[in-house]
Structure 1
């Protein structure tokens, strides 16, 4: 009896200490999460270096981290700085009246009255839709301007989080496999289940970050290039916006380039409108269908509708990290239920069949 009390007390304190540690790490959730994601993505590079250079964990991890810095961290920082600068420029032009989003929408309504008539069949108020679009456009540029001011005011915190992420990435690249084995020993789920779940975690993280993010960058770059060629204001900004919305299945970059093509046609620029439409359908649209099977793989891809819902839910719950966290939670949900169905569904079915046989055997006796 006393031994059971000791065990229960220990387990209760274990849960309490674990929760306290989780709360302690909460302010660093972003750097920790991205350190884990980057370590998973570049783990094959570390393994390749180990095969070529031998068992030199510190050197292999350091070289892998440098490769990560050159390929990912430095370009992302440069793109982010350019995006914020572009957003501030657009916001200043809106404030000065040089850019008037409302007039662009009015021009489309005047040139294509059929659009208003079509939306009216579904009881859609065009004026209300116009106001929402203008507010979204102004709010987006204002958000980027605030981010620029915020980063300038909190430069130390930003670079501290970046340095923490890079520091953690080094140790996760070097000792990640040991940590996974330690977790497998510690968690009371069964080694086979734990290995399956860790494999699913790594698989979905790689697919989402490496595959979906790379595809989004490619689509955003293609969109930004055509906008720049056609002379559309804020080509870099719209390219990044297209990259962001490309993460959402069934929505994609079309939510940006389609209205742009419609506006070009409304103001009489028919040739640029046709060029943008053809380019959007053939080049930007097909990029996802051609690259996703190669970079992500059909076997690791969860259903598009679940990706859409989980991505939107993840962004609402976790912020910018949600575009990875949402699909990851959905994939783990499917993995857990898959394990349950495989291990317990068959037993339940067999038990039901056995009960049915017993009932049939007892039937003559009851008669």
Structure 2
């Protein structure tokens, strides 16, 4: 081995080591860094427009973009979060005091089910009615305790949240102001073919914008519509249930139905027929239509990913990375497909070309 090759390998090893060490340092605030990068990518077109109007003042353009980001995205989320915490605390207190009894609700539904349906449940060895009621009561108590614990944890970690939020805003400002030059330097340092780098970067930014904007539009629409119909029907905690429906709508093919379907069944089983019919009709024709129409247009069309890949990558990403996985999963899937698309023609055999 020549000294030149040895130096190259030693430098490559050093480069990998310091990169891993730097990543470990950032990991503590990986959520703040991740969403800072995501917001910078989403608001980059707006920043470029402002920069054209004030080409000699990039700092002012970045500050204006940051202010618009605060007004459009962060302020509404803060208001919703405050309302969510208040309603979650109220519902938890009512569950603990017995004013809300999920076990009783389930018993009412079972009492309205025909005898043959109850016998069918027993024949299928699903479990007995009593066991189902006991399990549902246990799950409801655990869910309410988990929700209360989350609310308490948020309160205890206020300082950590403020620090992470400040880091995200600080990073977002510099990514908006210096993002173009930083991306250029990263591209120059990446040892790939120029055409491949350009294609991968375009794919990366396209998937992020389509996934975030598409999923957020679908989630916000379904959550708002679900909360609105719950409020109209007099169901307690419409903001809480709306937020839950918005969160669940991030899961393709599952969606907000996990919330409104059991409520509709309860209405129908307990004699509140018109409420059940209205909620079922609204859920199928309005809430469900949003998912079936908007998601393929906003997500699948731009990412050019099949629906099953979007579903699996979203579920897998959220299982590994939590809430941010609904972005990370499809991005990894899209880059996986893009890399193999670049690799396959280059290494295809002469007979297959």
- Establish whether TM, by shorter chain, passes 0.5: yes
In structure 1, the residue matched to 2:337 is: 334
In structure 2, the residue matched to 1:2 is: 3
Structure 1 residues 75 and 11: CA distance shift in structure 2, 3 A: same
Is the counterpart of residue 69 in structure 1 residue 94 in structure 2?
Answer: no
Cα separation, 2, equivalents of 1:231 and 1:140:
22
| 1:257-336 superposed matches below 5 A | 257-296=260-299, 298-336=301-339
Displacement of 1:182 after TM fit?
A: 1.1
Cα separation, 2, equivalents of 1:129 and 1:172:
53
The 3-state SS of whatever aligns with 1:21 is helix
Of the structure 1 ranges 287-296 and 202-211, higher mean CA displacement relative to structure 2 is found in 287-296
Displacement of 1:293 after TM fit?
A: 4.9
Contact 1:224 1:236 (C-alpha < 8 Å) held by counterparts: yes
- TM-score by structure 2 length? 0.92
| 1:212-227 superposed matches below 5 A | 212-227=215-230
- TM-score by structure 1 length? 0.89
Match of 2:146 among 136, 143, 151: 143
In structure 2, the residue matched to 1:174 is: 177
**Gaps spanning 5+ residues in structure 2: where?**
none
Displacement of 1:91 after TM fit?
A: 1.3
Displacement of 1:234 after TM fit?
A: 1.7
Cα separation, 1, equivalents of 2:278 and 2:257:
14
**Gaps spanning 5+ residues in structure 1: where?**
355-367
Displacement of 1:192 after TM fit?
A: 1.7
In structure 2, the residue matched to 1:90 is: 91
Structure 1 residues 308 and 97: CA distance shift in structure 2, 3 A: same
Displacement of 1:55 after TM fit?
A: 4.5
Is the counterpart of residue 45 in structure 1 residue 46 in structure 2?
Answer: yes
In structure 2, the residue matched to 1:112 is: 113
Contact 2:303 2:334 (C-alpha < 8 Å) held by counterparts: no
Count the aligned residue pairs. Answer: 350
Structure 1 residues 47 and 331: CA distance shift in structure 2, 3 A: same
Aligned-residue RMSD, C-alpha: 2.0
Contact 2:300 2:306 (C-alpha < 8 Å) held by counterparts: no
In structure 2, the residue matched to 1:208 is: 211
Contact 1:84 1:147 (C-alpha < 8 Å) held by counterparts: no
Structure 1 residues 163 and 116: CA distance shift in structure 2, 3 A: farther
Question: Which structure has the larger Rg?
Answer: 1
Contact 2:39 2:172 (C-alpha < 8 Å) held by counterparts: yes
Structure 1 residues 188 and 97: CA distance shift in structure 2, 3 A: same
Structure 1 residues 341 and 49: CA distance shift in structure 2, 3 A: same
Structure 1 residues 174 and 136: CA distance shift in structure 2, 3 A: farther
Cα separation, 1, equivalents of 2:104 and 2:32:
42
In structure 2, the residue matched to 1:358 is: none
- CA-to-aligned-CA distance 1:109-149 (integer Å, 9 cap, x gap): 22123554555565422645555544443333323322222
Contact 1:84 1:145 (C-alpha < 8 Å) held by counterparts: no
